[in-house]
Amino acid sequence: MANNNLPLVSVVIVNYNGKDFVHNCIESILKNNYNNYEAIVVDNGSKDGSVRFLKDKYFNSLKPVKVVELEKNFGPAKARNEGVKIARGEYVGFLDNDTEVAPEWIAEAVKLFEKDNKIGGLQCKILLLRDKKRFDYGGDYFNQYGFLIQRVGLREIDKGQYDKEIEILSAKSAGMFIRRDIFEKVGGFDEDYFIFVEETDLAWRYWLAGYKTVFCPKSIVYHEFSASVKILSKEKNNYNVRFHGTKNHIMTLIKNLGVKRLLAILPIHVSIWVGLMIVLAFRGNMRSAFNILKGILWNIVTLNKTIRKRKKIQSERILSDDLLLALIMKKQSLLVKIKQFFLAEKLVETTEK
């Protein structure tokens, strides 16, 4: 698709100490079959020589890569916002540094965007880099307790069973696209999230503004499973997953649900977090229990700030909860959700640096 009359696409990659991964990510982008794009790497204060490597490798290349240096690790949410600030594209693709893309990755996303101007964002089909027949991610829905439900099972084999362009709640930034004007209209990523659930919050906001998220099965990304976990210490991973995961789930509900649904869902949601915290404490996992408690308390301390954000979002919404949740809410057994929680807990606690 070497046609410069096609829309310009900006590809934003967030990097943190990922020199061993980001090179392959960029090389796969350079081999894609869509010609009109630009590549931007936002480095979150890496200490592994990533910036020097990127500048030496790509500054004078045929397709230069822009590098944005941040002085410390501000988290993926702010880093992506900084990338979009210098992006020139009509569409923005987000990738993690431990991904590689199929040649048609951009082209297929643009095709789908061009078919429907109500599509705000796209979820790519994300497969495992080390086992390209298995899923890493395929989008998510929202359950009656205020938690996310992934559409595909853990490492489920891709047999084409999800190869349908279908509406979902949100996309994962390891492989997603968004219209830049919609991104800017709803205010980009909320930087208070730092990491986890920030994509859900972003998508929810543009759903409320009258746009939607669609799964794009022909736009394919390959993801190195848990590469970020391997980079960080066990303590830091636990803090990110449990503290930011808890605080961000709660904050997302407070910001985006209407009053009726908020009063119905939030007390149950917080009660589940409290119950999980108590169980973890009794099992001797005080680190996880304490980080969940911190996530709950954070929302109490910062409630006034969150309410200000909520007032703006709710004042501008054009889609009701009834219409939205009819599309993106799926019932799920609480027992199934709790089992998933403890499986994730085991993965976090058994991963060494």
pLDDT in tens, 305-335: 999 999 999 999 999 999 999 999 999 999 9
With tokens 């985006």, the residue in question is 256
Q: What is the pLDDT of residues 253-287, one digit of tens each?
A: 999 999 999 999 999 999 999 999 999 999 999 99
Instruction: Give the residue-averaged pLDDT of 329-352.
Output: 79
pLDDT the model gives residue 232: 55
Class of domain 9-229: alpha beta
Domain with CATH 3.90.550.10 in the chain: 9-229
Q: How far apart are CA 65 and CA 39, in angstroms?
A: 5
pLDDT at 152 over 80: yes
pLDDT the model gives residue 343: 78
Question: Which letter does DSSP use for residue 152 in this model?
Answer: S
pLDDT band at 146 (very low <50, low <70, confident <90, very high): very high
State the CB neighbour count (10 A cutoff) for residue 166.
Answer: 15
Q: What is the pLDDT of residues 108-125, one digit of tens each?
A: 999 999 999 999 999 999
pLDDT band at 2 (very low <50, low <70, confident <90, very high): very low
Region of residue 95 (left: phi > 0; alpha: psi -120 to 50; beta: else) = beta
Q: Which one has a higher pLDDT value, 193 or 235?
A: 193
Q: Give me the chain's average pLDDT, please.
A: 93
pLDDT the model gives residue 349: 61
With tokens 């790519």, the residue in question is 124
Percent of the chain with pLDDT over 70: 94
Q: Which two tokens stand for residue 217?
A: 């099965």
Q: Which helix (H) or strand (E) holds 175?
A: strand 175-179
pLDDT band at 1 (very low <50, low <70, confident <90, very high): very low
State the CB neighbour count (10 A cutoff) for residue 152.
Answer: 19
Is there a contact between 255 and 309 (Cβ–Cβ < 8 Å)? yes
pLDDT the model gives residue 64: 81
Q: How far apart are CA 332 and CA 86, in angstroms?
A: 41
pTM value surpassing 0.85: yes
Q: What is the pLDDT of residues 217-252, one digit of tens each?
A: 999 999 996 655 555 556 788 898 999 999 999 999
pLDDT at 192 over 50: yes
pLDDT the model gives residue 319: 97
Pairing of strands 9-15, 91-96: parallel
Q: Under DSSP, is residue 124 helix (H, G, I), strand (E, B) or coil?
A: strand
